[in-house]
Amino acid sequence: MIVPLFAGGGPNSVAAVRLMRIELGGAFADLLNEKGKGSGKDEMAYVDRTLGFRTRDLDDRDLRLVTDIVGGAIRWRRYLDFLILSLCHEEKTFRNMEPLLLQILRIGFYEILKLEMPAYAVVDEVALRPGAGNMVNAILRKLVLLKENNSLPLPTLDGDDRTQARALATIYSHPVWMVRRWTSHIGQEAAVKLMMWNNSDPSYSLRANTRKGFTRADLIMRLNMMKVPHEPSLYLDEFIRIRTGMQTIMQAGLLKEGLCSVQDESAGLVVSVVDPQPGDSIIDCCAAPGGKTLFMASRLNGEGMIYAIDINKGRLRILEETAHLQQVDNVITAVHADLRGFADSGQVDYDKVLLDAPCSGLGVLSKRADLRWNRKLEDMEELKKLQDELLDAACKLVKPGGVLVYSTCSIDPEENEERVAEFLLRHPEFWIDPAVRYVPPDFLTGEGFYRSCPVKHSMDGAFAARLFRSL
């Protein structure tokens, strides 16, 4: 029998259970946000079962708060746990704390420290069964007192590089290995700015689907009618930026009708590097879920073909459905295959090949709040090996005089520039085609690659190298 922890069933109840699902069940935070109700229609029933009683229905304002709490508590988890441990005094109390209680404390700390909620509202909302309630409310009140006295505990930045990295990792709530890696690559000051960006509320971009006759001007008109704040992209004609209002856009049906897509500008600029033209024969090697495939298809204007390869049949099916919705399915052929086997099967050569490779995702940590805690240092070596294998396979599909574009959503040079350098040593028939003709100069590296930087460009971090195969 489950003993109810909460006396009420407001947003914090739902947020606590959702956090448990993400941390213990492996669910992705960004898949639990559609209309604030989660990826499955029975999520609220799951909440009820976990809590042991029925939660009240939440209105749109409550659901937005749930989404904010979940994303923020995940981002700031390391810092919040440091404070909770400090206020528990005994490490054993913290280490032995039941999972749901820990989530409740994280939520309370986040609301008080980051959302600036009044203490009485947080303590009242986090009303627990008597045994747990006394401890939780005592810790929350202690936190409020420390905050009011401006005496919150913080790790010191003294000591050697390793000690400083641990302190920064706590203050800015990132894994230590990421902090050490970034400090080594870009310096401590830039690393701190990057972590601050990752901890900020994410912004999003929308791409107007011109193949349905829906232009950016049409999208702007609809957003004005819905009173959703926005600004046009400075770099891509089909894109606009928004910081708030995604629920309003979803409820209005713009996405379901295929009139626009959620797509970051950084991904759109990778398509610019590919430069799809009507009549092109293109391979998208790791296509699903299909954002770049669909944008490239819209650029073909009904002439040519994109072969969308992916090893995941379910995700490939979603790509096909979205292509039909956006009316670009006439230039997309889905291929369920492992690229490495497909490249050896004697297929014809293609004008352009895009390898948007599996990567660490270190450029999208602002949107993927949970990814920082799921990614491990050991993953990097495995990913680099896979990237090399996929590059060696993809290059077999490029015709003489054709183009191979290698891209990632990573900001790590070992996954980007170093992979390209190693590839060119193995394949001297390819050489760098500088991206200067395809993206604004601000995105060009010294070697002629495309690179977006989250802090500098206010978008996800991404990389692309355009490689030409000799005739």
Report d(CA 26, CA 20) in Å as an integer. Answer: 9
Give pLDDT tens digits along the chain (471 positions): 223 344 445 677 677 777 767 776 655 555 444 433 444 445 555 554 544 444 556 667 777 788 888 999 999 999 999 999 999 878 888 888 888 888 889 998 999 999 888 766 665 444 455 566 677 888 888 999 999 999 999 998 888 999 999 999 999 999 999 999 999 999 999 999 999 999 999 999 999 999 999 999 999 999 999 999 999 999 999 999 999 999 899 999 999 999 999 999 999 999 999 999 999 999 999 999 999 999 999 999 999 999 999 999 999 999 999 999 999 999 999 999 999 999 988 767 899 999 999 999 999 999 998 999 999 999 999 999 999 999 999 999 999 999 999 999 999 999 999 999 999 999 999 999 999 999 999 999 999 999 999 999 999 999 999 999 998
409 in active site: yes
Q: Do residues 266 and 462 touch, judged by C-beta distance below 8 A?
A: yes
Q: Do residues 411 and 359 touch, judged by C-beta distance below 8 A?
A: no
Catalytic residue among 285, 286, 359, 409: 409
Supply angle C-alpha 450, 452, 456, rounded to 5.
135
**What totals of helices (H) and strands (E) does the chain contain, helices first?**
21, 12
Supply angle C-alpha 222, 223, 224, rounded to 5.
90
Report d(CA 132, CA 67) in Å as an integer. Answer: 25
Closest of 113, 33, 36, 46 to residue 73, by C-alpha: 113
Residue 325, classed as helix, strand or coil, is helix
Radius of gyration of the chain (CA): 24
- CA atoms in the 13 A half-sphere facing the CB of 245: 20
- The pair of three-digit structure tokens given for residue 130, joined into one six-digit string: 């008597």
In sequence order, what DSSP letters do the residues of 344-372 get, joined into one string? Answer: TS-PPPEEEEEEE-----TT-TTT-TTHH
